[in-house]
Amino acid sequence: MRLTRDGALAGGVALWVLVVLGLDTGASLGQQRLLGLGTWVLLLLALRGESRATRVQVAVVVAFATVVEYVFADTLGVYVYRLENVPAFVPPGHGLIYLAAFAIGRSAWARRHARALLTTALVLCGAWALWGVTLSPQPDALGAIWFGCLLLFAWKGRSPLLYAAAFFVVSYLEVVGTSLGTWEWQPTDPTGLVTIGNPPSGIAGGYAWFDAAALYAAPRIMLWWDRRSAAQNQPGDMSSVVVSRDSSSVS
């Protein structure tokens, strides 16, 4: 069977997770930065064959996720990385994780098995969330809350297959990362009221906010950019164009 681009993207990101997080287990800060550089290169190479819309979506995810990382990891300490920093490979890594889920969700295989893929993701995530609030040695209320988010996005969102694929990709990332000690989730949130698993069971529902932000913001960013570019390329006196448009709208 010929390996498709979507399959290669998903498989490449899965391999990246193992290699980079494995190398990070004993890496110094300088070596960690080199892993970050390599991750940026990989992300940029992966984006070369993607559409403009996908590139903008990835950029939105990287920007949004980076802010979240510095707020929740670096400032609030909801989860803590091995060197108590935000590793340099994390921001571009979020872009790769989104791209892998996006590739799976748009693939011909996912479209052929859409109902099965979505049902399997939600059933597995629901079972994990239930285990987190009943049998887990580290209670996990946050995972159950995020499972609710995943349900909502899968039901109301425009791209349910993206969220289903994100469950598998993100869960794989979190299990590998916490198992290797790359990061560790704290037992509770900063208020002490919400318990957290390591990793949270419904973590894909948390990542779904990144995905939703990308799908919402990307077309608006492109529209704004196109209008801005058109205005800059407009010949003649722009003030006369504005007056003309105002006059026509009034009439």
The 10 Å Cβ neighbour count of residue 125 is 25
Q: Give the per-residue pLDDT at 236.
A: 54
The Cα–Cα gap between 26 and 3 comes to: 34
Q: What is the pLDDT of residue 247?
A: 36
- The overall longest dimension of the chain from CA atoms, in Å, is 71
Query: What pLDDT score was predicted for residue 53?
Result: 96
**Helices assigned H by DSSP within the chain:** 5-24, 29-47, 52-68, 90-106, 108-112, 114-134, 141-156, 160-180, 203-233, 238-250
CB 69 within 8 A of CB 91: yes
Q: Strand, helix or coil at 202? A: coil
Of 246, 242, 222, 216, the residue nearest 231 (C-alpha): 242
Please identify every stretch of the chain with a pLDDT value under 70, giving residue numbers as ranges: 1-2, 235-251
Give the residue among 104, 129, 133 at the shortest CA–CA distance from 118: 104
Note the pLDDT of residue 114: 97
Please report the pLDDT score of residue 139 as a whole number: 96
Give the per-residue pLDDT at 232: 85
What residues contact residue 176 under an 8 Å CB cut-off, 6+ apart?
17, 18, 21
Predicted confidence at residue 234, as pLDDT, reads 75
Cβ neighbours of residue 155 under 8 Å, at least 6 residues apart? none
| Residue 229 Cα distances to 27, 114, 141, 213, 226, angstroms | 44, 39, 47, 24, 5
